[in-house]
Chains A and B, each alone.
Chain A
Amino acid sequence: MTQQILSGFNSPVHDSQQWYRIVLDAMSRPGNVCFPISTEAFSQAPSPCSKTAASIALTLFDNDTSIWLQTSDEKLTHWLQFHCGCPITTDKNAATFALITDGNSLPDLTQFSIGSSEFPDRSTTLVIQVESVTHGEPVEFSGSGIATTNKLNISGLDSSFWETQKNNRSLFPQGFDTILAAPDGVVCIPRTTTIRRQTPCM
């Protein structure tokens, strides 16, 4: 039985460097929408991943990182295993990264690792696919990396996320970190970010 696996980065070294800088910039300045000028890193992303989420996976995942996948899509699993060589785990607490392909239906985020008080870095990084980081619900970020406040609009992210992030913030220095991947850019929400939603909770 043969199956076709979609290609990875056209230029693995330079594409992953560029995407890393996007993520580093976004993680340093939470709420800034970061995106490379050139998005032609590879021709087709494996469904249900957008090119953004797939690029982040190719940049950061490898055989040292256990990945928790929201979808059991076989093609995506094979694509990740082929290009990144990453072990796939079903244990949320053991995952280095969680690839959450549908931001509208989040798993229980509190089950992911928040690290220990002595090793807070050993926590899960969530990669959540959302529809947009330039349109949608207005939110306001403040915290490390932000001069005063940073306003942005996000759509395609379940509103329970904001409450979870509020609790996550209070765990500092422990906690998970989040990378929002949308077709129109990357926004990071490290554990230090305080969120203020501009619309009241329904």
Chain B
Amino acid sequence: MNHTINTTQKTANATPLETGYNFAFLDEQTKRMVRRATLKAVAIPGYQVPFASREMPMPYGWGTGGIQLTASIIGQQDTLKVTDQGADDTTNAVSIRSFFQRTTGVATTEETNKATLIQTRHRIPEQPLTEDHILVYQVPIPEPLRWMEPRETETRKMHAHEEYGVMHVKLYEDIAHHGHIATSFDYPVQIAGRYIMSPSPIPKFDNPKMDNCPALQIFGAGREQRIYAIPPYTNVHSLDFEDHPFSVQTWDEVCGLCGAEDSYLDEIILDNEGNRMFVCSDSNYCQQRLKAGHAGAMTAPQGQPAATRTESNEENNA
């Protein structure tokens, strides 16, 4: 099987390139350091590789880990997609996309199937990923044991000795308090039967998408200076108990715009009367479904914005 990288240039975007910066902002020495850490992360699935995270021209918490990963991976032949909570048009996604447009000039897209490199904050796209994708996650707290054990020296030993009982105790305490495992995001997973890993604050709805995924998944935590990865086709097990098996969120509603029954839904409050609607959190998935002719209860008719259709709001809430 030959895997080749196409060197043909894509049409560059209209944003002018910043001058005075290296391609993709980082200097070559930093890229090599990140690249070496990433290779080790891929070789040891789920293990957090320390790296010398750099200061980036944005604050910690805005995806500095993900940006350093993307910057060290991205090339002229790539098409970049950036999403924040599933949406391509929110502040974090727009500013990171614009950062890479200005420092690399690569083509960008909002369409999951056209992207080769996807940087994401807190969601995995609804459209199944393929071998042609690399998914880069932004991670705030990479250490899943941190909430139980604040000392890095201790959590490191716990990982070394595969001493993960405390994580099961935490999930058990959830069951004791709430009757079920109440953790709904950043739900801990075990990679290839060895390391317990934080999947970053994605909803547990997305956990099953990580298992045996054809795409390479890489996680970057800038402030905490860790890189970790899940190679393609690797077993990702969401921790659970025999009598409390892992399950994902479900909704009674469907997406108000596209009628999707299978996607992660955001609840949106519409007015002071408490009217609400549910929409796909993955904006591109929703758009693709609308284009394909699917419609939900609150889909705007041609040329009319959704908000003016009060009668359909009432229908939905009846």
Contacts and interface: CB of A to CB of B under 8 A. Distances in A.
Do A and B actually bind? Answer: yes
B160 A191 contact: no
A35 B2 CA distance: 7
A24 B216 contact: yes
Interface in B117-176: 131, 156-157, 159-161
Nearest to A145: B231
A60 B45 contact: no
Contacts of B33: 64
B232 A29 contact: yes
A20 B5 contact: no
Interface class of chain B by DSSP: mixed
Contacts of A21: 5, 73, 75
A23 B40 CA distance: 12
Interface string A22-34: 1111111100111
B231 A144 contact: yes
Nearest to A177: B43
Interface in A1-39: 12-14, 16-18, 20-29, 32-38
B249 interface: no
B6 interface: yes
A161 interface: no
B177 interface: no
Nearest to B22: A13
Q: How large is the interface on A (under 10, 10 to 19, 20 to 34, 35 or more residues)?
A: 35 or more
Interface string A86-99: 00000000001000
Interface in B11-57: 22-23, 28-29, 31-33, 35-45, 47, 49-50
Contact of B5 (A22, A150, A177, A190): A22
Given A22-B5, A28-B232, A29-B131, 10 more contacts: A16-B28, A20-B73, A21-B5, A24-B216, A33-B2, A36-B4, A38-B7, A117-B161, A120-B47, A191-B43
B195 interface: yes
Contacts, number: 136
Contact of A117 (B32, B75, B160, B234): B160
A156 B10 CA distance: 39
Given A13-B22, A121-B44, A18 B37 contact: no
Q: How large is the interface on B (under 10, 10 to 19, 20 to 34, 35 or more residues)?
A: 35 or more
Contacts of A36: 4-5, 7
Given A23-B39, A64-B33, A118-B160, A18 B5 contact: yes
A113 interface: no
B295 interface: no
Contacts of A25: 3, 5
B43 A190 contact: yes
B231 A62 contact: no
Given A62-B29, A144-B45, A173-B47, A24 B233 contact: no
B300 interface: no
- In order of increasing CB-CB distance, the 9 nearest A-B pairs are A190-B43, A145-B231, A121-B40, A117-B160, A17-B75, A177-B43, A28-B216, A118-B160, A121-B49
